[in-house]
Structure 1
């Protein structure tokens, strides 16, 4: 029996990413209809405003132009993340910050980690690339002449999440023939096989489909509530469980940082994401280690505003994921599937990855669907576990002990067997690509190197020959020359965006 009607419950970033991925993969199946049901009564979380470079591949696949993204979503470029206060200040790093850039840590394709390890107190690991200097100088990652989705250094985006959802919606409806229905789904019924038989709207209407994609957010209406798929709780590994989010306008004369700023505090961290006209700021904290009142006061100090001058929205965060994201005739994506704090733009990254995984493995014949479901569940669970490892690493290798939150993170929180084993290996050998034996490690050796050694992880240095030392020195010198050249050639981030937007408006007539 063939699947002919697929419905996606919930729009927003997750729902419309799913719609675009499915529509592209099933384009040849002309008798399949894809419908997105959005409720006019339910808003979206709308704080997932940072991405990783993987999003560019999806946008190109969907046929969305980079120009339209930049012009319609208040988008800015993101070369990586600047971490502040995640360690104790030191003489070598008095500003107490480091970068995790979206570029290779192997200049010229050569692993120069040994050069860094020979003198870690006098070299920041990010110096193996030119991105940190370009970011500090507020430079754009592209030239005016750069091709769409290409730059002189790798990059992702910051954008208005609501507008991004609308862009995905427009593309799915107008280019890929996805149908759109406005309705509020309040319940669903199961058939004798334990599958979803039909949806029930607020008005009592029954809507019948063959396959259901649950993008209902934290409610997880179908996968969690109806099918009772257990939730794998990871709150013992990741202690933060709350966020206060606010958006503030910015002066149009102020530089736009080409990075996300992640600033640690005594019970969590703060995201600071620059768009073209505003900043999105989120105060992430552990409610077991800081009250909401104290969180608001700390946020007030960070914003340099009195408490009565801003009204943050509180977002509860439950860390973990569903034991299965594909069960019977239901797949859950986005918050309905799982959530890990957005320290490395994890939410939209995992959503995009699992939406593509599902779409590429979707079987239109029901008889073979269980095989695809079993495979995809194994992949998704592995990916979730490794993402959780990567996020947890930011906490547990810190040398901060100035609060109970940091002491518990560094001394008591359990770690997965995989992460514990890797930490032991990396005490004697720096990470290498072969340590990440699965292509479903969404964060790989590049990411781990920048964070591990940005936070001064103690790996035993290896002896180097004179030739190696000279060779590595030359490679780093080449980076500095390229850095000096690009600092002169590249436009400032705001300047590039303003010139682009002026040209784009002119092209519209």
Structure 2
């Protein structure tokens, strides 16, 4: 039997990303229809406004011009994340900040980690890449002449999540034949094989499809409530459980940082994401270590606004993921599948990865579905476990001991066996590519190197020959020369965006 109709329950970023991935992969299956069912009553979370570079590949695959993204979604460039106050200030790190850039940690293709370890008291690991210097200088990652989706350094985006969902929806409907239905799904009924037979709307209408994608957010209406797939709770590893989100308008002349700011506090951290016309600010904290009133007061202090001048949106966060992401004729994606706090722009990244994995392994022949489901479930479970490890590592290797929260993270929080093993290995030798034996480690050696040594992780230095040391120093000097050269050539971030938007508006008038 063939699958001829697919329903995606829920729109937003997850639903429309999935619709685009599926529609591209099933282009040749002209008898298959894809329908996104969006509720007019249920809003989207809409705070996942940071991405990683992988999103560029997906947008190119969908056929969405970069110019359209930049012009319609209040989009800015993101070269990485600047972490502030994740360590105790010291003589070697008085500013107490470091970058996790979207750059290679291997200047000229060379692993110079040994040079850093020998000179960690006087050298910053970020010296291995141009991006931190360009980010501090507020430079665009692209030249005026850069082709779409290409830059001088690697980059991702910040954008208005609601507008991004609308962009994805327009593309899916107008270019990829995806259908759209407005309805609020309240339940689903199973057949005698335990598959979903049909959906039930608030008005009692029955909607019959062959396959269902649950993008209903934290409700996890189908996968969680109808199929009762267990939720694997990770709150013992990631202790934060609440976020207060607010949007702050910015003045037109304000410079736009080309990075996400992640600033730690005594019970968690804050994100600060710049768009063209506003900032998205979120205060992430552990409710076991800070009350909501104190959190609001801290957010007020950071924003330099009285508490009566802003109204944050409270978002409870449950860390973990579904035991299965694919069960019979249902797949869960986005928040319906799992969640970890947005420290490394994990939400859209895992959703994009999982949607692509599902779409590429989906077959319209029902008899082959169980094989694909078993394989994809293994992949997604592994992916979630390693993402949890990477996020937790930011906390557990900190030397902060100034609050119960930080002491709990470093001394009490449960760690996976793999994270414990890797951290023990990296006390002896720095991370290497072969430590990450699966291509489904979404964060690999490049990411771990920048975070580990941005946070001054203590790895045993190794001896170098004089030739090696001189060679490594030349590579670092080349990076410094390149950084100075690019700083002079690249436009400021806001200047580049304003020139682009003016040119784009002119092209529409012509």
| TM-score bucket (shorter structure) | over 0.9
CA distance in 1, matches of 2:91, 2:118: 17
Partner of 2:361: 361
2:91 counterpart of 1:91: yes
CA distance in 2, matches of 1:376, 1:150: 31
- CA deviations on 1:86-106 (whole Å, 9 max, x unpaired) are 000111221110000001010
Query: Secondary structure at 1:387's aligned position in 2?
Result: helix
Partner of 1:67: 67
Query: Secondary structure at 2:428's aligned position in 1?
Result: coil
CA distance in 2, matches of 1:194, 1:375: 20
Partner of 2:281: 281
Partner of 1:41: 41
Deviation at 1:252, TM superposition (A): 0.9
- List, as ranges, runs of 4+ consecutive aligned residues in structure 1 with deviation greater than 4 Å: none
What is the TM-score of this pair, normalised by structure 1?
A: 1.00
CA distance in 1, matches of 2:285, 2:481: 41
Partner of 1:429: 429
Deviation at 1:299, TM superposition (A): 0.4
Partner of 1:334: 334
Partner of 1:235: 235
What is the TM-score of this pair, normalised by structure 2?
A: 1.00
Query: Secondary structure at 2:383's aligned position in 1?
Result: helix
CA distance in 2, matches of 1:367, 1:130: 51
Query: Secondary structure at 2:427's aligned position in 1?
Result: coil
CA distance in 2, matches of 1:163, 1:271: 20
CA distance in 1, matches of 2:338, 2:129: 34
Query: Secondary structure at 1:480's aligned position in 2?
Result: helix
Partner of 2:149: 149
Query: Secondary structure at 1:90's aligned position in 2?
Result: coil
Aligned residues: 509
- CA deviations on 1:450-472 (whole Å, 9 max, x unpaired) are 00000000000000110011000
CA distance in 2, matches of 1:336, 1:135: 35
Partner of 1:17: 17
Partner of 1:305: 305
- CA deviations on 1:119-170 (whole Å, 9 max, x unpaired) are 1011110110111110000000000001110100000000000000000000
CA distance in 2, matches of 1:65, 1:382: 33
Partner of 2:384: 384
Partner of 1:478: 478
Partner of 1:268: 268
Partner of 1:120: 120
Consecutive unaligned residues in structure 1, runs of 5 or more:
none
RMSD: 0.4
Consecutive unaligned residues in structure 2, runs of 5 or more:
none
Query: Secondary structure at 1:186's aligned position in 2?
Result: strand
Partner of 1:501: 501
Query: Secondary structure at 1:193's aligned position in 2?
Result: coil
CA distance in 2, matches of 1:366, 1:463: 58
